[in-house]
Structure 1
Amino acid sequence: MFNKVLFPVVFTDQTEQMVGCLAGLSKSGVKEVLLFHVISISEIMEDRYANESYDEAMLEKWKSYLQDFGLKVEYKIVTGIPWIEIIDTAEKGNFSFILIGSHGSSFIDRLLLGSVAERVIQHAKVPVLIYKFKRDSVGGLVCQNIFERILFCTDFSSSSEKCIPYVENMLTNHNQRLIILHVQDLRNLRHVQPEKIEEFNRIDLERLDELKKHFERVGFKNVMTLLTTGYSISEILNYAATEDPTIIVVGKKGKTNLKEMLLGGVSQTLIHKSNKPVFLVE
């Protein structure tokens, strides 16, 4: 199970919704939360920071709220370079994942997500859950069913293999649905003969079936596999739009073993274009 979550706190209008997400995650096995706020060293140097008492009061308020859901909660305020402090804390604190918020699937989502979050996503060695803010939400347990319908996107790379134990940890009840999706990306098939493509399909269907049997053995009762051909981003987004998963699980690196976050690849594009939460694995 996911036991311990690091939540980097940025004081915005959406923070209450993120706290509600943490409360909802208590229903999925989360036991501990660290509310972690970094005062940027640039704010101190430019004498722009004067809200420490307010920050502490809000963190204490959210700590008390989350404790009512049986969570062990601590908060910490440090000064430094935010993304570096977050990464350092995540790696030293044995956290299950980092929770970060995003505004959704608009063209300017990259700007709204913020440079700190971008760097955390890019450099984190622990998984990152990117939660998409809901415009009509006014609080509450918004993440309590976040693992109800899981879309696991795999390209059978080592990065995708690392996703498997995290998907296993998302199992909380026997009513959950797991969809395992593999896309034969047309960009990789331009110069491939049709008979070779048929061979690829046969091999990948066998791989998908093996994954299905694996997840059934660990307890998933409703597992479906899907092999499609097209452009990975379009296929994943189209499938997510029609099947309405509650979360998308994807590896950060593809078969090239290069960080897609640096190349504008599948995982990065999903983070910005999907209106569904994305669970990103290093």
Structure 2
Amino acid sequence: MSLLSFNSVIVPIDFSEECVGAVNTALELVNSPKQVTLVHVKCPTTYITCGTAYVQLDEAEHTKQIEKHFQQFIQNHQWQELNWTLLTGKPGEEIVAYAKEASASLIIIPSHGYHGIKRLMLGSVAERVVRLAPCPVIVLRRGEETTHH
């Protein structure tokens, strides 16, 4: 246990390796793994465009596949005691809304450290969460792969 302790910690995940460090950091700040909730936000899949063709996807099937992947991710890291939830929408807004609803005391979010055009195209979920969150936010930077531009 650390000097600081939090009752409810939310860790947004996208199943990347950066998320593993964020979850481990969260576990160091709580008394019980049950105080950590992993949150993944998927985009609605009613229509996905490929060039000019539209492909309709089955939302329920897509949700089922992501839930299965989520459970496998949790099992692979032996995090069965953690809570988890799957949300649909814009990641930044959904994470903040969930934090408000859950009365979170902290959000720990990994940053992918995108720069330049990639950042403009993808936006920054971490930045949005920092600006709108109802609680403190810790943004973890990428490790040794970080490049400075």
Q: Which residue of 2 aligns with 1:152?
A: 11
> Runs of 4+ in structure 1 displaced over 3 angstroms?
197-200, 210-213
Name the SS for the 1:275 alignment partner. Answer: coil
On the 8 A contact 2:109/2:137 being kept in 1, the answer is yes
Once residues 228 and 250 of structure 1 are traced to their aligned partners in structure 2, the CA distance between those partners, rounded to angstroms, is 16
Name the SS for the 2:40 alignment partner. Answer: strand
Query: What is the deviation of 1:154?
Result: 0.8
Name the SS for the 1:215 alignment partner. Answer: coil
More helix by share: 1
Q: Which residue of 1 aligns with 2:71?
A: 209
- CA-based RMSD: 3.1
Q: Are residue 274 (structure 1) and residue 136 (structure 2) matched?
A: no
Once residues 200 and 280 of structure 1 are traced to their aligned partners in structure 2, the CA distance between those partners, rounded to angstroms, is 29
Structure 1 residues 164-179: aligned runs within 5 Å: 164-171=23-30, 173-174=31-32, 176-179=34-37
Residue among 29, 33, 54 paired with 2:2: 29
Paired AA for residue 69 in structure 2? R
Give CA-to-partner distance per residue, 1:172-202, whole Å, 9 cap, x none.
x238522111111249x6435323x544423
On the 8 A contact 1:181/1:226 being kept in 2, the answer is yes
Query: What is the deviation of 1:245?
Result: 0.8
Once residues 175 and 251 of structure 1 are traced to their aligned partners in structure 2, the CA distance between those partners, rounded to angstroms, is 19
On the 8 A contact 2:9/2:108 being kept in 1, the answer is yes
TM-score (norm 2): 0.69
Query: What is the deviation of 1:161?
Result: 3.2
Name the SS for the 1:258 alignment partner. Answer: coil
The size of the alignment, in residue pairs, is: 131
Identity of aligned residues (%): 18
TM-score (norm 1): 0.40
Structure 1: gaps (5+ residues):
1-27, 31-143
Paired AA for residue 79 in structure 2? F
Bigger RCO of structures 1 and 2 (CA < 8 A, at least 6 apart): 2
Specify whether residues 164 and 179 from structure 1 end up closer, same or farther in structure 2 by C-alpha distance, changes over 3 A only.
closer
